[in-house]
Amino acid sequence: MALTSATQRLVAQFEYTDENVNIGVKEFLRQIDEGLHKSGTSMSQIPTYVTAVPNGTEKGLYLAVDLGGTNLRVCSVRLNGDNTFSLTYNKSPIPKLLMVAKSSQELFKFIAEHIAVFIKEHHYDHYEHHIRRRETMSSPEGFRDEHIFRLGFTFSFPVQQVGINKGFLIRWTKGFDIPDAIGKDVCALLQEEIDRLHLPVKVAALVNDTVGTLMARSYTSPGKTGALLGAIFGTGTNGAYIEKLSNIKKDMEGEYDTSTGEMVINTEWGSFDNQLNVLPTTTYDIKLDQESVNPGIQMFEKRVSGMFLGEILRIVLVSLLQDESIPLFHDDNSSHNDWKSTTSIAAQSGMFKKWGLDSAIMSVAALDNTPDLGTLRLELDSQLDVYSPSLEDAHAFKAIAAAIARRAARLSAVAVGAIVLQSGKLTDPAFAGEPIDVGVDGSLVEHYPHFRTMMYEALKAIDGIGEAGAERIRIGIAKDGSGVGAALIALVAASMEKKRPTTIEWLAQMRSEASLKTLKEVDSAVEQEAEETAA
Ligand code: BGC
């Protein structure tokens, strides 16, 4: 009984009502607008200089690197020009040590090394061709060749972008903490390490994963208009959407094309309401934040994304375990337990370690609807060293996990709903009856059961959206969005490299890329050209 009532009390604390949803949306709209007017706001509203979305006819072979919160993916993407693409990729977990290393060079070196392995494994022809060319030093025409891969770099952290392949890191998120990278151009940091390995790769475009997702969704889902929003609900959360240029009131440093009258804005909504004007806040949220590497920042993300949900649940469960009047994962004798053995939790259980409860088990809990919750109970045993959990334990775990996930899904709907309202598409006669397309990606939305259904329930409750509006919002998975989107932006970047370098420029560029051995040849070529020009 004590466990049941404690569970009910906790579940109630995570309730996020329709009224809360509406209050959240109003504040979200206010903070969207604030971020469009000035810099330094909690939601950064970063202009990306991307002013159009693809229409599916784009073609070519591009390389993409996706540095997410958990994994590094190196991919090559072949865009077929008919709304389809094929993708080859290698995926490796990012070593925890590199996420908090002293210097970011180790992280960028790790990325460059993985690019090298990928190219040698999947595109040996490019690699070999490049090596041959470096050895023979052929003509400018030859150097300017297609064998240099254009790489789209998906860097899923807040970056002040000043050009298509230039952007300065604003802050780390998702547990990364490498202070020396703050304020640096992350493309240059990567290019340096690529050059150190003499790879035939140019970092051509810098892309946030949400922007990539928006691009990929527009490429693959043909419609009268492209997608409105690309969003990630994975280790972290964020969204990028199409905004009218006339609504962007703050200064933009970089150059951009004004012909579409629109620009993609990276909202960085993970930091929506850092000031906690409206975000729901339990004592468990407070504890999680205080113990994080970035207290007071990414407050929305800390209630929504996969990295944090497991940790909130762990903190809640530890509070129950500390209360001796509540029999969680504990019974005095086997007669209390339908499995006829005494329940206990091992001292070394992940439950007692920060980040020790992987959010994935929450999906297992939600999926297990068997009368004895057998799958979940086995998982509690194997993942969390809970020996012989009782049915009551499993029920408590399932209910609390569901409440935390449901709050996350409804908060996600606040973000999506606010962007839909901001676009004005629901009431614009030009879009009457048209679907409003939202591309989503990330482990949470992909694997947590009914995450989208819970989002839709909340969307229906939003004033100005309602049932009819929610029906027009088409939330679809944009699988591999960030890789494909990065390739698409690398394509745009490649087409912007219109200006062909003069021979002198070519040689200067070659010099900066050449090894010591070839430098001599560069020098003599420069001398020769100077002599020829003088003659
Ligand atoms: C980052 C965003 C990113 C999101 C999803 C957040 O922590 O700040 O830039 O888009 O995670 O990966």
Q: How confident is the model at residue 517 (pLDDT cuts 50, 70, 90)?
A: very low
Q: How confident is the model at residue 525 (pLDDT cuts 50, 70, 90)?
A: very low
Q: Is the pLDDT of residue 511 over 70?
A: no
Average pLDDT in the 147-168 region? 90
Q: Is the pLDDT of residue 514 over 90?
A: no
Task: Look at the block and give the residue holding tokens 């604003």.
Answer: 170
66 lines ligand 1 (CB under 6 A): no
Phi-psi label, residue 83: left if phi above 0, alpha if psi -120 to 50, beta otherwise? left
- In this prediction, residue 466 carries a pLDDT of 98
Q: Is the pLDDT of residue 375 over 50?
A: yes
Interhelix angle for 306-321 vs 2-13, to 10°? 140
Nearest to 217 by CA among 233, 228, 204: 228
Rounded Cα–Cα distance for residues 369 and 379 (Å): 14
- In this prediction, residue 243 carries a pLDDT of 97
Q: Quick check: 239 and 231 in contact, CB under 8 A?
A: yes
- In this prediction, residue 264 carries a pLDDT of 94
Average pLDDT taken over every residue of the chain: 87
Average pLDDT in the 416-432 region? 95
Ranges 383-392, 425-434, 523-532: which has the least confidence: 523-532
Rounded Cα–Cα distance for residues 503 and 139 (Å): 9
More confident call, 516 vs 300: 300
Closest Cα to atom 9 of ligand 1: 157
By most ligand atoms within 8 Å of CB, the mutation choice from 48, 67, 208 for ligand 1 is: 208
Write out pLDDT tens, residues 191-249. Answer: 999 999 999 899 999 999 999 999 989 888 766 678 999 999 999 999 999 999 999 99
- In this prediction, residue 340 carries a pLDDT of 66
More confident call, 226 vs 350: 350
Average pLDDT in the 461-486 region? 92
- In this prediction, residue 136 carries a pLDDT of 53
Rounded Cα–Cα distance for residues 182 and 202 (Å): 22
Rounded Cα–Cα distance for residues 327 and 174 (Å): 34
Taking each continuous run of H as one helix and of E as one strand, the counts in the chain are 20, 15
- In this prediction, residue 145 carries a pLDDT of 54
Closest Cα to atom 1 of ligand 1: 157
- In this prediction, residue 531 carries a pLDDT of 57
By most ligand atoms within 8 Å of CB, the mutation choice from 168, 174, 211 for ligand 1 is: 174
Task: Look at the block and give the residue holding tokens 């990539």.
Answer: 212
Question: Among all residues, which ones are annotated catalytic?
Answer: 156, 171, 209
Write out pLDDT tens, residues 122-149. Answer: 987 766 666 666 555 544 444 455 568 8
By most ligand atoms within 8 Å of CB, the mutation choice from 71, 206, 232, 274 for ligand 1 is: 232
Q: Among residues of the chain, what percentage have pLDDT more than 90?
A: 66
Q: What residues have CB less than 8 Å from 460, skipping those under 6 apart?
A: 466, 467, 470
Strand partners, 475: 438
173 lines ligand 1 (CB under 6 A): yes
> How much distance in Å is there from the Cα of 414 to the middle of ligand 1?
17
239 lines ligand 1 (CB under 6 A): no
More confident call, 380 vs 221: 380
The number of angstroms, rounded, from the C-alpha of 380 to the middle of its chain's C-alpha atoms is 29
232 lines ligand 1 (CB under 6 A): yes
Write out pLDDT tens, residues 13-45. Answer: 999 999 999 999 999 999 999 999 999 999 999
- In this prediction, residue 520 carries a pLDDT of 45
The number of angstroms, rounded, from the C-alpha of 188 to the middle of its chain's C-alpha atoms is 21
Average pLDDT in the 472-489 region? 88
442 lines ligand 1 (CB under 6 A): no
Q: How confident is the model at residue 338 (pLDDT cuts 50, 70, 90)?
A: confident
Q: Please state the atom number of ligand 1 nearest to the C-alpha of residue 173.
A: 7
Closest Cα to atom 11 of ligand 1: 236
Q: Quick check: 192 and 138 in contact, CB under 8 A?
A: no
Q: What residues have CB less than 8 Å from 532, skipping those under 6 apart?
A: none
Rounded Cα–Cα distance for residues 157 and 68 (Å): 8
236 lines ligand 1 (CB under 6 A): yes
- In this prediction, residue 236 carries a pLDDT of 96
Q: Which helix (H) or strand (E) holds 378?
A: helix 374-384
208 lines ligand 1 (CB under 6 A): yes
Token pair of 285, please? 């949220």
Average pLDDT in the 310-325 region? 95
- In this prediction, residue 58 carries a pLDDT of 83
- In this prediction, residue 532 carries a pLDDT of 54
- In this prediction, residue 98 carries a pLDDT of 94
Rounded Cα–Cα distance for residues 57 and 82 (Å): 5
Q: Please state the atom number of ligand 1 nearest to the C-alpha of residue 240.
A: 10
104 lines ligand 1 (CB under 6 A): no
Q: Got the DSSP string for 406-463?
A: HHHHHHHHHHHHHHHHHHTTTT-GGGTT--EEEEEESHHHHHSTTHHHHHHHHHHTST
Q: Is the pLDDT of residue 113 over 80?
A: yes
